[in-house]
Structure 1
């Protein structure tokens, strides 16, 4: 058999999937390692997808998605990002096959072999995985505990070279639950402008912040095509629990429509029409699901935080997303990946090891807050106390 390409062979194991699949094989395990919303989908969303099938509307759609859905994504993004009514239209929205395909889409547009991409450390694993698949180079910028895991401009600027092309931002953060401040977000956009970098902003969890606002870098971008630089990745997987329907949007800078269509055709052509109509119903119909999910995640955050505090385990107080980032270095003995496997075997609880998200994650774990509160509290209660 001929060899696979080196960039495919060298993609690392996703440690989140590694521990989660081990948990799924463990009878009775409490799975706190994966961010999977646990509520039933709203009936009107399901019916919209089924009605599309009943109409046999199963042909290709435009590369960028059905017009009504692009309009709905644009309206929601303007509202959530605090943008003017005429600032971002449907022509800048590309419906994608989930946020991960959106990230791959954006990077395919921007990266040549050997280009460097600045990614958060700790940060979501597929940032680095996707970059490597495109023969580019991920470069982690540090997020330190003593800075509340907020990036520092000087740390990022020190990493910029002549090969640097893209800065990836993620707020609210997976795995940290950290939210970028407005002033810092503006400074990061200014940094990208000074060094002529693109920005890819991963905003998968924009619907879930607690007592702080979500601030999109797009608010500080230019509307002039020659100066615009921000791509925004959105998804309905977390906001509405549509993880299996694989539906999201990529908001692009102005002036790229023809290139975007060509690249979308080469990657996936278009998203399945039933998923698009279900997404349209989610965006334009009743929003009870989002309100209920927000309240549930916040209550779970508070309940799990109380258990960690009682055990003396340090953690980052999550301002967004639905994860807690906890320090188990007192128990993990310098190898949190191995400790997470042992903890699953011994205690029946799966947690995502911090090293899944980068080197600074050593000694930390990510705790998903999506499921039932009794199960969450029971799982966190099994963590060894810090003495």
Structure 2
């Protein structure tokens, strides 16, 4: 039997998925605070738009970069909501935010290149970089700095092989939102070293009391690529629609790469995305308010049981310090929490070595589960 490539064979499985597998194999009900799966369904008008597209027979190929109506709606959205001065020709529709990130990386890195990724950070960054036979280089996000990137740390990691820095705000898993002045510093860092800045903004609509600032606002030299998603904002995780915003002249290359990857995003899903952008936004506001309420509940319950945490300012996660509970092995502790108390959480080490002693709780679970899950965490002493 021929061998698979070393990059595929050695790519680690997501630590979050390992917890999911163990939870499903438990054979009994459990409280799930381990995945970022919204507990909502898409707005009714979004579902209807997809149904109507199927009924019309809109099931054929569409342009690699996306249908023009969706590109136009996206251009309006990023101008009005993200402050990004880009037009429809700079946008490529993707099969979710994850594919937008993979598309960008496929376009800008090659074997032997280095990519700066956050630690703690979403595990798929390292997976995608390794699969493309490049090297992920983790930059530290430190508790004493509020898990905000520090330029001095980045400067120490840059080499001639560095081609990209990935920036994620609002952060999965941390719930942090990088202040605008730091975002601008990160763009200047990328410009100074003539590298790309790949910005993961999949939670851009979910912030609490602070502004989300898109790096592309500050881009003066065409170094920023921005990945967005419909998954979290509109609870469309399984619909798989995202988009990549590029500097001028880059989108045709990205669109060309779509052909061997996915050809195009399915037409009914794009119809649903148009409806999501152009239709009523009241359910988006309702979901954001619900996450904000769950955030307050989680912080209150964690305070009651004496478990420290980082106050989440975006996304729908809360990063908790369980170092006093784990005995130095957060993954083993997470397995015991699941088997003994039927609570599934994501161990911090799923997001990098910097996550040892920490855990991510998803606030996509309903309020009762969040309250009961945190109470059970308090019993793990």
From 209, 230, 241, the counterpart of 2:224: 230
1: CA distance, partners of 2:365 / 2:177: 22
1:285 and 2:286 are equivalent in the alignment: no
Secondary structure, in 3 states, of the residue corresponding to 1:210?
Answer: coil
What's 2:207 paired with? 209
Q: CA RMSD in A?
A: 1.1
1: CA distance, partners of 2:81 / 2:170: 13
1:69 and 2:70 are equivalent in the alignment: yes
2: CA distance, partners of 1:373 / 1:261: 41
1: CA distance, partners of 2:44 / 2:25: 31
1:154 and 2:148 are equivalent in the alignment: no
Query: Deviations along 1:323-350, whole A, 9 cap, x unmatched?
Result: 0000111111111111111110000000
Secondary structure, in 3 states, of the residue corresponding to 1:244?
Answer: coil
TM-score by length of 2: 0.98
For residue 371 of structure 1, report the CA deviation from its aligned partner. Answer: 2.0
What's 1:256 paired with? 250
Secondary structure, in 3 states, of the residue corresponding to 2:157?
Answer: coil
Query: Deviations along 1:264-306, whole A, 9 cap, x unmatched?
Result: 1121110001100011101110001210111010100110111
What's 1:299 paired with? 293
For residue 356 of structure 1, report the CA deviation from its aligned partner. Answer: 0.5
For residue 28 of structure 1, report the CA deviation from its aligned partner. Answer: 1.2
What's 2:195 paired with? 197
Where does the alignment leave 5 or more consecutive residues of structure 1 unmatched?
A: none
Aligned pair in 2 of structure 1 residues 91, 98: CA closer, same or farther (>3 Å)? Answer: same
Q: Is the 8 A contact 2:348 2:355 kept in 1?
A: yes
What's 1:246 paired with? 240
1:89 and 2:101 are equivalent in the alignment: no
1:136 and 2:137 are equivalent in the alignment: no
2: CA distance, partners of 1:330 / 1:20: 24
Structure 1 stretches of 4+ with a deviation exceeding 2 A read 384-387
Secondary structure, in 3 states, of the residue corresponding to 1:245?
Answer: coil
What's 2:115 paired with? 117
Where does the alignment leave 5 or more consecutive residues of structure 2 unmatched?
A: none
For residue 261 of structure 1, report the CA deviation from its aligned partner. Answer: 2.3
What's 1:347 paired with? 341
Q: Is the 8 A contact 1:124 1:174 kept in 2?
A: yes
Q: Is the 8 A contact 2:119 2:140 kept in 1?
A: yes
Aligned residue pairs total: 380
Aligned pair in 2 of structure 1 residues 46, 386: CA closer, same or farther (>3 Å)? Answer: closer
1:30 and 2:28 are equivalent in the alignment: no
